[in-house]
Structure 1
Amino acid sequence: MESRRTASAEDPPPAADSPSSGLRERKKLETRSALRAAAVELYLDKGPSAVTVHDICEAAGVSPRTFFNYFETKDDAVFDWDHRLTHQLVKGVRDRPSDEPPLPALHRTIHDAVPALVADPGWHSRGALLRRYPELIPRLLHSNRRMEEAVACAVAERTGLPEDARYPRLLAGAGLAAFRTAMRAWDPGTGADSLLGLVDESFGLLAAGLPAPERDAAERDGEA
């Protein structure tokens, strides 16, 4: 199996503390992005089973050794978007004002992540890939589960609760479910503002305790 790794896939990108380190980190991000884009496009073109790590490296113009500095498997490159979003959400939850309640903190973190998500062509390509090759969906579910665990840990840290406490896990699960519900209801042709509105609506329902919706008056009249 094509799997080898010298750095943890869970480690967030280190912060730059000098011009030279900043340049190195930008180059690393560019390489990672190139590998991710090449993997997604090759999966779309050839199908997941026909693509090798060598194919991805050739398309991205890097060596296999470089590939394994970033990813353990070819699927990890395809689902790197989820990995990056996980780090963004964890950092956002940690960085929100300390007096902000956890649910609004997660809401604002996801809200702030949406514009870059919508602007990323790789995210749209990956969506097309999942529709074309549904056999990849279990891998997506695995990524979602890891994202939920990471967000729950960030909420636990924020609240001072143990990582296995129910509250952090419930909040992370409900918040990410609200996000996914908004994305499923979203028409990509309507732009980022439309998705932001759906995210806000979903979190508003959570914050209100998920009250039962009022039935339309005409529907009630018809039952009279």
Structure 2
Amino acid sequence: MQVEAGLRERKKQQTRAALADAALRLALEKGPDAVTVEEIAEAADVSVRTFFNYFPHKEHAILARNPEHLERALDRMRTAPADESPLTTMWFVVNDVLRELENDGHVSRRGELIMSSPNLLYQLMLTSIDDERQLTAALTERMGEPAGSVRPALIVSAAGAACRMVMELRKAAPDRQIRDLLQEAFQLLAQGIDPAFGPNSEKKGHS
């Protein structure tokens, strides 16, 4: 039973990867707006019905959107050690996704394509907002804070912003590793980006 379940899961992962690879290749060749679901399914050698078992639309396939990533992140958050800080938990969550990206092999090309397509950027923004909403709810519960608390929401949003910033900075500094940039970003978040922050203090020369 376990062997069969493992084989089924491996087959699902292979099919999802084949669809995502085909979607990216066709989007790079033709442009993301010109690609159709039918073309992606044909290139991956599956039916259109199978395509929709994995992705709700072609943009999610081009983005290589995998809902299992979010499920793993939520599970990691719920099962985090009691003495682990919230930002540390987010670091482990982000690193899990980073490992997936490193194994992808297409992260740079996919990132460049996304940045050049307003539609893909919009879809990425929508999925990111939904992910952050669910992660914030889970972290709020884990921290024992009431709904609407700023701290857990800020931690989740800052971690997401750090990931997006790192992908953008990598274009200007291709010699730097994504993991090193991310480590630096999280270290700055942990230390406080600007300890001298004080908008309510009276400044000389200002009324």
Q: Give the match's secondary structure for 2:135.
A: helix
Q: Give the match's secondary structure for 2:193.
A: coil
Question: Do the aligned partners of 2:78 and 2:138 also contact (CA within 8 Å) in 1?
Answer: yes
How far apart, CA to CA, are the structure 2 residues paired with 1:155 and 1:35? 32
> Partner letter of residue 77 of structure 2?
V
Question: Do the aligned partners of 1:148 and 1:173 also contact (CA within 8 Å) in 2?
Answer: yes
How far apart, CA to CA, are the structure 2 residues paired with 1:89 and 1:166? 20
For residue 83 of structure 2, what is the aligned residue in structure 1? Answer: 99
For residue 181 of structure 2, what is the aligned residue in structure 1? Answer: 198
Q: 1:33 to 1:112 in 2, by over 3 A?
A: closer
Task: Give aligned pairs, total.
Answer: 195
How far apart, CA to CA, are the structure 1 residues paired with 2:126 and 2:109? 19
Q: Give the match's secondary structure for 1:50.
A: coil
Question: Do the aligned partners of 1:83 and 1:143 also contact (CA within 8 Å) in 2?
Answer: no
> Partner letter of residue 201 of structure 1?
E
Q: Does 1:36 find its partner at 2:36?
A: no
What is the CA deviation profile of residues 19-56 of structure 1, one whole-angstrom value per residue up to 9, with x for unaligned ones? 11111111011111111111111111112232211111
- Alignment map for 1:28-67 (pairs within 5 Å): 28-67=12-51
Q: 1:76 to 1:204 in 2, by over 3 A?
A: same
Which residue of 105, 112, 128 corresponds with 1:121? Answer: 105
TM-score, normalising length: structure 2? 0.81
Structure 1, gaps ≥5 residues long? 1-16, 214-224
How far apart, CA to CA, are the structure 2 residues paired with 1:101 and 1:93? 11
- Alignment map for 1:147-166 (pairs within 5 Å): 147-166=131-150
How far apart, CA to CA, are the structure 1 residues paired with 2:57 and 2:21? 15
How far apart, CA to CA, are the structure 2 residues paired with 1:41 and 1:67? 16
- Alignment map for 1:143-182 (pairs within 5 Å): 143-182=127-166
For residue 203 of structure 2, what is the aligned residue in structure 1? Answer: none
Aligned-pair Cα RMSD in Å: 2.4
| Greater displacement, 151-160 / 128-137 | 128-137
> Partner letter of residue 200 of structure 1?
Q
How far apart, CA to CA, are the structure 2 residues paired with 1:102 and 1:130? 30
| Greater displacement, 90-99 / 57-66 | 90-99
User: What is the aligned-residue identity percentage?
Assistant: 37
Q: 1:84 to 1:186 in 2, by over 3 A?
A: farther
How far apart, CA to CA, are the structure 2 residues paired with 1:89 and 1:130? 23
Question: Do the aligned partners of 2:114 and 2:121 also contact (CA within 8 Å) in 1?
Answer: yes
Q: Looking at both structures, which has the greater relative contact order when contacts are Cα pairs under 8 Å and sequence separation is at least 6?
A: 1
For residue 27 of structure 1, what is the aligned residue in structure 2? Answer: 11
> Partner letter of residue 91 of structure 2?
H
Structure 2, gaps ≥5 residues long? 197-207
Question: Do the aligned partners of 1:79 and 1:143 also contact (CA within 8 Å) in 2?
Answer: no
For residue 124 of structure 2, what is the aligned residue in structure 1? Answer: 140
Question: Do the aligned partners of 1:39 and 1:77 also contact (CA within 8 Å) in 2?
Answer: yes
Q: 1:28 to 1:162 in 2, by over 3 A?
A: farther
Offset of 1:62 from its aligned partner? 0.4
Q: 1:86 to 1:123 in 2, by over 3 A?
A: farther
Q: 1:105 to 1:131 in 2, by over 3 A?
A: closer
Offset of 1:112 from its aligned partner? 4.4
